[in-house]
A and B are shown apart, each in its own frame.
Chain A
Amino acid sequence: MKTKKLFVFIAAGALICLAGCGSGDGKRFDSLNKMLAEDYTKISLTVTDTFAEGSVLIGEYTITQAEEGKKIEYSVERFGEISLEGSNETKVILTGTAIVKDGEIVSTTGDAIELPEGIGGGYTFASEYFANVKFGDGSLTADVTDAGNFFGCTITCTDMKVEASFGDALTSLNIGFTAADGTAVEYAYTFTA
């Protein structure tokens, strides 16, 4: 599939607010928010979707700084459709590149995938968004009770948990949750300063 098309992705859904807001360490959360705003030379993102019937799809994204903006290089798995006459691969790998400037995708090359319409929002750490917060030496684990505000966009999910590791800057951020259709979703970010 080598067409050059940009699909519009619309995220919609009701927010499920999980009960309970735990208390946290305000200064530590502020520090994490500052780390999120830092410029990293590279951010790697791996998204793993484990569907309820057992199949798995993995998408990998690498975000780096480019002259024209942020460059997102992607290599994502998708299931292939089957036909009586076709070659019928169960999974195909779609690869390509998108350039983001001021939160907007301004150009794409490679295999077409659905990319979000506008990239805004952003993670925000705040004690009122979490429960069971545990800060260690360079680590954080917590249950996310307000996923929408944590994500900065609407999301429908349950059982969201977050793990972060950091020093002077973030090194990793892992988020796991169950989507409304029962899919187990994992986001794994790694940061290179």
Chain B
Amino acid sequence: MEKSMRKILSVLLCAALFLLGIGVAGTASAQKVSAATTDYYSGITADKGTALLGQLHDLIVDTHTYYSSYDDCKTKASLTDPSENGVLEFYTHETYPNNFGSSTGVLNREHVWPKSLGHWETSNAGSDLHHIRPTEYTTNSARGNNKYGEISGGTAVYSSKGGLAGYKTSSVYEPNDNVKGDAARIVMYVYTHYNTASRVYGTKESKGSGALSFTNIMSASSESAAIELLLEWNELDPVDEIERTRNEAVYKIQGNRNPFIDNETYAEAIWGDGTAVGGGGTDVGGGGGTGTTTPTETFHPITEPEEGTYYLGMNVNGTYYYAQDSIVNNYYIGTTTDINSASEYTLTKQGDGWIIKTGSKYLEAVASGTHANPTFKTTPTSGKTWSWDSENQVFIWSDGTNEMFLGNYNGYTNIGGAFISYINSDYHAQLGTYGTGGSQGGGTEHQHTYQYQDLNDTYHTVTCSGCSEVNRQEAHVYTDAQDTTCNLCNHVRTIGGGTQGGGGTQGGTGKITITLDSFTLTDNYNFQTWSSGGVTGTAFIFGGNANYQPEQGMQFSKVKDGYSYYLANTTAVPGPIVSVKLVANGQYSNDWSVLTSDTSFGQVTGKPTGGTNHGSKAVSSSGETWNIDGDDTFFAITYDTTGFAGYLASIEITYATGGSQGGGTQGGGEVGGGQSEAFHTAVEGIVSEGSLEARAASLNEAIAAYKTLTEAERSAAAADVQKLQAAIAAYNEAVRKFNAAASASEGLALQAAGSMLN
């Protein structure tokens, strides 16, 4: 549902219910101020603006007598978020058992203001009960550390129970309308409490304070726009009983309250008059040093060039920025101050190409490693111009060896970005105009030109070649059950009736997935051991310390001498490797390479060599896949980016089973050399992590399918049988561990009751 429609329906519904006098749980109460909190706010004398903001900051800091621990966020969930037979989940308002962990269907501690967008880990703001909310694992993972904002389109996010939790793009998360106000009031609380005192006009420094801007957490073009959105959400979704009850519960634990829940008029009173924007500090906008530098008008990128005057916009995760001094919210447009979004650029036709000038200088491009930098010439390179690729909406500069791009073009190196070494579809510099109304090139309403890119066996990505508003995943579209090619992205699927190909096609696949949970970790950076799907391996990653957050995923680094920076298997994958997919954790993308071999890469300093190098790619949280030919059963993933740590959420290794890859064994109505489709599917569906109940259910399903096979079919499915046996062994090992822990726990209870037993 379009964002605007969702908002309209929400407002109409609330209005209708109000007129009918129906009291619906979670809807607005006509009362704006809680009478029960009068004493708490008795010292607040200001009624608006910076004075009110400062007094509220001092109050909630002064009265914050108990700083909750991160463990309190779990153990006190039954007090702060009670629900019948469990705990109330934040985004869906579903009820979950009071279990916290890292598997589907259990709860996580959600930082409403993500750690990476703030200045905390799991203490102070990072464990404040007014801030941290219980969130189902799937939903928490989907939100990740995306900013909050409003999305047009996007991908729906569902909890493990199937409840709609919101919508997301690669960088923005939009909660449901009935949670927007909750989120906004939490954001305001965190901003007010944990901001540097001077920035919020307070006199007392909070524990764990630091500079905060609303644009750190809200996807908006400016601080003012972020505030406007928060005020809008505060109004759209007023305070309800869930919030009031929770505020009371946390107050009893911590001693302080969230004033934006107690008094809904505070937000508008403080920020509605525009005087409390930015505070007294100098580092607004994350350290750029030049103040808020985002345009207040909409940027319209070129969709078809015409001679004229334009400006440069930097598209970062769908939001356009401009700045002075070549710095845009910490993303450099170029390494020289010559490039400047405030400068005018003229576009002039020359032959079949285009000349782009700013002042007296000619804009060209120069390749630099994996990306390109802008360069300015007082004398243009003879015979060279920019060409325009209308299909991909991008200017192309060729130096005879490299092609460099200026435009909103996914998947290719883009001009600019000297600060970040990447090949990333989220950062683009493009020429365009600023203003209201329709897009450049005729003033007509922008019509999306959709482009589809194969993502995996189930989905393709959908984007618009002319704007950044569209970025979602959709399922493949086939004409009928026999159609093997997606009508939109040309993905080719395998149908288990043996109709695909005529030789040389893959006869079935298996997959192992490596995550941080696959590891048995030791502290700090070391070679750590992992195990998944019956395959074992090693990786030089961070094993943790007192401050370690497992949500960060597998952490690699190459900053110190003697470090290694790769992951590899030490036992063979059950079949020839078909593909390797890496998924990054966090909002940044880094470069990774994939190597394969017929022998183990072992443990080496630095990274392994030898085998076949399948190339380096930038990997973001949407994932990147390497397709592998050959019969190799050993792989290595190497981290290629220098300067900071890189994080992976998962590594998926797909391998061939049954017939050999490319051997044409499929085509006789059987998959992979005679193996039962049902057994293969069941083995593929084995759950290797999470609750034992879920793991057991998936194993029993595979065992049931195994028992239906004949001896010949079992022989033909040897790889899957081996996989099943390995999964059973791993499961039983976990069973013994948990049973022993329960015995120890119960024994301790009996031991301690000794005096009662004599």
C-alpha spacing A96/B299, complex, angstroms: 75
Question: Do B750 and A84 touch across chains, with their CB atoms under 8 A apart?
Answer: no
**How many Å lie between the Cα of A122 and that of B697 in the bound state?**
41
20 A-B pairs besides A53-B690, A82-B731 with CB distance below 8 A are A49-B741, A51-B738, A52-B100, A53-B102, A54-B105, A57-B738, A59-B746, A79-B696, A81-B735, A82-B696, A82-B703, A83-B728, A84-B703, A84-B724, A100-B757, A115-B750, A119-B753, A123-B755, A152-B751, A159-B71
The residue in chain A whose Cβ has the minimal distance to the Cβ of B736 is: A81
Interface status of B458 (Cβ within 8 A of chain A): no
Q: Could you tell me which A residues sit within 8 Å of B by CB distance?
A: 7, 9, 11, 36-37, 40, 43, 45, 47, 49-57, 59, 61, 63, 70, 72, 76-84, 88, 90, 100, 102-103, 113-116, 119-123, 151-153, 155, 158-159, 176, 178-179, 181, 183-185, 187, 189
Contact status of A115 and B747, CB under 8 A, knowing A82-B700, A123-B752: yes
A82 CB contact (under 8 Å) in B699, B746, B757? B699
CA distance A165 to B249 in the complex (A): 23
B724 to chain A: closest residue by CB: A84
Given contacts A81-B732, A119-B754, A121-B755, contact A155 B746 (CB under 8 A): no
Report how far A185 CA is from B745 CA in the complex, Å: 8
**Chain B residues proximal to chain A, CB less than 8 Å:** 71, 74-75, 99-103, 105-106, 689-693, 696-697, 699-700, 703, 706, 724-725, 728, 731-732, 735-736, 738-758
| Contact residues in A for B749 (Cβ distance below 8 Å) | 45, 47, 61, 187
Partner of B748, one of A82, A113, A153: A153
> Cβ of B757 and Cβ of A153 under 8 Å apart?
no
Contacts of A82 in B (CB 8 A): 696, 699-700, 703, 728, 731-732, 735
User: CB within 8 A of B738: which of A55, A114, A121, A153?
Assistant: A55
Q: Which 6 A-B pairs have the closest CB atoms?
A: A122-B755, A114-B743, A54-B691, A116-B747, A90-B696, A79-B735
Contact B691 A55 (CB under 8 A): yes
Determine chain B's interface SS by DSSP, over half rule.
Answer: helix
Give Cα A56–Cα B745 distance, bound, in whole angstroms: 13
Instruction: Tell which of A40, A54, A63, A81 touches B101, judged by Cβ atoms closer than 8 Å.
Output: A54
Q: How far is the CA of A52 from the CA of B107 in the complex (A)?
A: 11
- Which B residue's beta carbon lies closest to that of A74? B746
A-B contact pairs, 23 of them (CB 8 A): A11-B744, A36-B756, A43-B753, A47-B745, A49-B745, A53-B691, A55-B738, A61-B749, A63-B756, A76-B742, A78-B742, A82-B703, A82-B728, A84-B724, A84-B725, A90-B693, A102-B758, A121-B751, A121-B752, A123-B755, A152-B755, A176-B75, A179-B741
- Contact A122 B756, beta carbon cutoff 8 Å: yes
- Given contacts A40-B756, A70-B757, A100-B757, A45 and B693 within 8 Å (CB-CB): no
User: Which of B689, B692, B693 is most buried by chain A, counting CB atoms within 10 A of its CB?
Assistant: B692
Give how many A-B residue pairs fall within 8 Å (CB-CB): 172
A13 to B102, alpha carbons, bound, how many Å? 26
Q: Enumerate chain B residues within 8 angstroms of A77, measured Cβ to Cβ.
A: 742
A81 to B754, CA, bound (A): 32
**In the complex, A114 Cα to B746 Cα: how many Å?**
9
In Å, the complex CA distance between A162 and B700 comes to 40
Contact of B742 among A49, A83, A116 (CB under 8 A): A49
Q: How many angstroms between the C-alpha atoms of A92 and B130 in the bound complex?
A: 41
Contact partner of B751 (CB less than 8 A), chosen from A11, A178, A179, A181, is A11
Known contacts being A55-B693, A183-B741, is A178 close to B700, with CB within 8 Å? no
Bound: A40/B751 CA distance, A: 17
Q: Is B754 touching A55 in the complex (CB atoms < 8 A)?
A: no
CB distance from B76 to the nearest CB of A (A): 11
User: When chains A and B are docked, how far (Å) is the Cα of A76 from the Cα of B740?
Assistant: 12
Q: A59-B746, A88-B696, A103-B758 are contacts. A79–B753 as well, Cβ < 8 Å?
A: no
Residues of B within 8 A of A113 (CB): 743, 746
Q: Pick the contact of A153: B691, B725, B745, B751 (CB < 8 A).
A: B751
Which residues from chain A contact B74 at a C-beta distance below 8 Å?
Answer: 184
Query: When chains A and B are docked, how far (Å) is the Cα of A157 from the Cα of B200?
Result: 41
A63 close to B738 (CB less than 8 A): no
A150 and chain B: residue at smallest CB distance: B752
Cβ-neighbour of B744 out of A9, A78, A119 (below 8 A) = A9
Which residues of A lie under 8 Å from residue B746 when comparing CB positions?
A: 47, 59, 61, 76, 113
Query: In the assembled complex, which residues on chain B have CB atoms less than 8 Å from the CB atom of A121?
Result: 751-752, 754-755
B757, A103: Cβ atoms closer than 8 Å: yes
Please report the C-alpha to C-alpha distance between residue A37 and residue B755 in the assembled complex, in whole angstroms. 6
Residues of chain A within 8 A (CB-CB) of B740 are 114
Q: Of the candidates B692, B706, B751, B757, which one forms a contact with A55 in the assembled complex, judged by CB atoms under 8 Å apart? A: B692
When C-beta atoms are compared, the residue in chain B nearest to A36 turns out to be B755
Smallest CB separation, B74 vs chain A (Å): 8
Inter-chain CA distance A155–B753, complex, in Å, is 14
Contact B742 A57 (CB under 8 A): yes
For residue A121, which residue of chain B has the nearest CB?
B754
Give Cα A34 to B303, complex, Å. 85
If the complex has contacts A79-B735, A81-B732, A82-B731, are A63 and B697 also in contact, measured as CB distance less than 8 A? no
Asked if B75 and A159 make an inter-chain contact with CB atoms under 8 angstroms apart, the answer reads yes
Is there contact, CB below 8 Å, between B101 and A119? no
| A16 and B421 alpha carbons, distance in the complex (Å) | 46
Cross-chain contact B692 with A90 (CB below 8 angstroms) = yes
**Contacts known (A80-B735, A179-B741); A54 close to B690, Cβ less than 8 A:** yes
| A119-B751 contact in complex given A54-B106, A88-B703, C-beta closer than 8 Å | yes
Q: State how many angstroms separate the Cβ of B754 from the closest Cβ of chain A.
A: 4
- Residues of A within 8 Å of B103, CB to CB, are 53-54
The CA-CA distance from A57 to B693 in the complex, in Å, is: 11
Chain A's closest residue to B691 (CB) is A54
Q: Answer whether A9 and B693 are a contact pair too, CB < 8 Å, given A84-B703, A84-B706.
A: no
Q: How far is the CA of A115 from the CA of B742 in the complex (A)?
A: 11
Give CA–CA (A55, B105) in the complex, Å. Answer: 11
Min CB gap A59→B, angstroms: 4
Residues on B with beta carbons closer than 8 Å to the beta carbon of A176: 75
Cross-chain contact B742 with A59 (CB below 8 angstroms) = yes
CB-CB < 8 A to B75: which residues of A? Answer: 159, 176, 178, 184
Min CB–CB distance B752 → chain A (angstroms): 4
Tell me the minimal C-beta distance from B106 to chain A in angstroms: 4
Closest to A191 in B: B756
A43: min CB distance to chain B, Å: 6
Of A40, A72, A78, the contact of B739 (CB 8 Å cutoff) = A78
Check if A43 sits within 8 Å of B756, measured CB to CB: yes
Please determine whether B756 and A120 come into contact, CB atoms closer than 8 angstroms.
no
In the assembled complex, how far is the CB of residue B117 from the closest CB belonging to chain A, in whole angstroms?
27
B741 touches A181 (CB 8 A): yes
